[in-house]
Structure 1
Amino acid sequence: MQERPTILIPIRVLERESIPEGVPALLTNAHVVLLGYHVVPDQTATGQAQAQFTDQATRRLDDLTAILAHAGATVDSQLVFTHDAQTTIDRVTTEHDCLAVLIPNATRPIEHVLVAVRGVVGIDRFVRLVSGLFGPKDINVTLFHVAEADETDADVETLLNGIKARLSEQGVSEAVVDIEISRGDAHQELIVDAADNYDAIIMGESDPSVTTFLFGMTADQVAKQFLGPVFVVQHEQTDVREAAEAK
């Protein structure tokens, strides 16, 4: 049986954020860490906000948990009152070893997924996420790479065909996996343009970092233009350390 990939969904639980249409079905094969959080003003103690809003927030979080569980996902929910949303999201992502953070825009039934691959870092996590979420469903997957000036088409084909072979080893039919190569300096725009005919995007963090890029960073910008769900694959801590040591 395919391992369920662990996906973090951060929800501003007291601002009436919800699980958009189509997202529960997208996560049927996932283990979801549902983070309900509320940002408390700096001048207010988090304990004071907890005392005032915990019951309301818990009811809302329980409702959202039930929606995901009904669709087939396994769910761990966590409620946090915080002064710093990004730090909280990063911490929970690390604590639960989440493969990806989901920016949960609404979607139609999933038929085609675009996987934006930047390089060799984190490929194992891409393979685990794609095979775990979509392998059992035979969803069409396109492995997409924006080639750098010093990369030949043959180099990129070797990279993408290697990922395709690894997906096949994990039970994803080669018949549903395509590869696509693009060239240009505006990576973000090229991903968005390529995604026009897709129902969801999987992409990695721009650099080895524990940030989830949800607040004004690359993946969030892509999600605002694409309007569908975007999975942001997280770097492993070993990748982060190695990148830091190389600087």
Structure 2
Amino acid sequence: MTDTAPPDDPTRTDPDRPAVLVPLAVLEGEPLPTGTPDLLANAHVVLSGYHVIPEQTAAEQARAQFGETAMAKLEAVAGALRDAGATVETRLVFTHDRETTIDRLIYEHDCLAVLVPNGTERVDSVLVALRGTVGVGRNTRLVAGLFAESDVAVTLYHALNDGETIADGEAFLTGVRSDLVERGMDPDDLEVVVEEAEAAVDAIAGRAESHDAVIMGETDPSVTTFVFGMPAEQVAERFLGPVLVVQRERPAE
């Protein structure tokens, strides 16, 4: 596996900008989905153009053959994100193992979230599904970092766990709401919804239909297993919009 890392975006000076990994199969013609620049206008985007090569092909060989074309496509995508207001750094990777590559990039760049890239025509409302599986502070950092300066309506949603009451769920989300207000969110833009649900994924997907994007935490210790086939992907497939998957904090060791 080899990757090209152009100089970091010199405009990345705001520590409040959350870092979001956006993986694209650049040589397969995967485009930047509609609405992504608006969704990530206040983010620091780590744009990863990757291409999976056969085991018998050396990454250096693939880079020599396709690197210039791939980088040109990647920079065009980066330009659209920068035009919307995002700061961007690009990584072009030729790899035999997509999952390992995505994991590595998440941790190398301290990404708060990974985008499951589906399109949306607009970004007026966002569903934030909270299950307590990822530190709440990481969720609120992402939400406030992306939307505190916008008019986006945010619905904080919690499907009750076994043994929880409605009062428990409301207390949990009230604390999250207070944190977001302290981080600069307009309280009028924040709605709190708690409900009982037999299957959390089904409930989130159903709620997502009336929103333009979803933010949810990973529930599996393996980042890429989750991103490429676990609940976030299931939600994205059902409501056909972008899903931002908030990552667990990397262990100190």
TM-score scaled by length of structure 1: 0.93
Is 2:23 aligned against 1:10? yes
State whether residues 52 and 98 of structure 2, in contact with CA within 8 Å, keep that contact through their aligned partners in structure 1.
yes
Q: Does 1:155 align with 2:168?
A: yes
1:168 aligns with 2:187: no
Q: Secondary structure at the match of 1:49?
A: helix
Secondary structure in structure 1 of the residue aligned to 2:89? strand
Match of 1:131 in 2: 144
How far the C-alpha of 1:2 sits from its partner, in A, is: 7.5
Which of 83, 91, 94 lines up with 2:96 in the alignment? 83
1:56 matched to 2:49? The reply is no
Q: Deviations over 1:102-148 (max 9, x none)?
A: 11211122111100000163111100000010110031111111102
Alignment TM-score, normalising by the size of structure 2 = 0.91
Say which SS state the counterpart of residue 148 (structure 2) adopts: helix
Output the CA distance in 2 between the equivalents of 1:5 and 1:51: 33
Higher share in helix: 1
| C-alpha distance in 2 between matches for 1:47 and 1:229 | 33
Q: Alpha-carbon deviation of 1:212?
A: 6.0
Select which of 112, 133, 142 maps to 1:99.
112
Give the drift of 1:222: 1.0
Range that drifts further, 29-38 or 47-56: 47-56
- 1:68 maps to 2:55: no
2:195 paired residue number: 182
Give, in angstroms, the shift of residue 180 of structure 1: 0.8
SS of the residue corresponding to residue 251 of structure 2 reads: helix
RMSD: 1.5
The answer as to whether partners of 2:136 and 2:176 remain within 8 angstroms in 1 is yes
Amino acid of the structure 2 residue aligned with 1:7: V
Change (3 A) 1:5 1:100: same
Task: Please name the residue that 1:42 is paired with.
Answer: 55
Q: Distance in 1 between matches of 2:135 and 2:224?
A: 15
From 207, 225, 232, give the equivalent of 2:245.
232
Distance of 1:101 and 1:10 partners within structure 2: 8
Quick one: distance in 1 between partners of 2:171 and 2:133? 11
SS of residue matched to 2:55: coil
d(CA) in 1 for partners of 2:130 and 2:154? Answer: 12
* SS of structure 2 residue aligned to 1:193: helix
Aligned to 2:156, the other structure's residue is in SS state strand
Residues 21 and 109 (structure 1 numbering): CA distance in 2 closer, same or farther, change over 3 Å? Answer: same
The answer to whether the aligner puts 1:19 opposite 2:32 as a matched pair is: yes
1:244: which partner in 2?
Answer: none
Q: Deviations over 1:17-39 (max 9, x none)?
A: 11111111111111000000000
Is there any run of 5+ residues in structure 1 with no aligned partner, and where?
Answer: 242-247
1:194 is matched by which residue type in structure 2?
R
Does 1:222 pair with 2:238?
no
d(CA) in 2 for partners of 1:39 and 1:154?
48
Kindly tell me: are residues 212 and 30 of structure 1, through their superposed partners in 2, closer, same or farther at Cα, counting changes over 3 Å? Answer: farther
Q: Percent identity?
A: 52
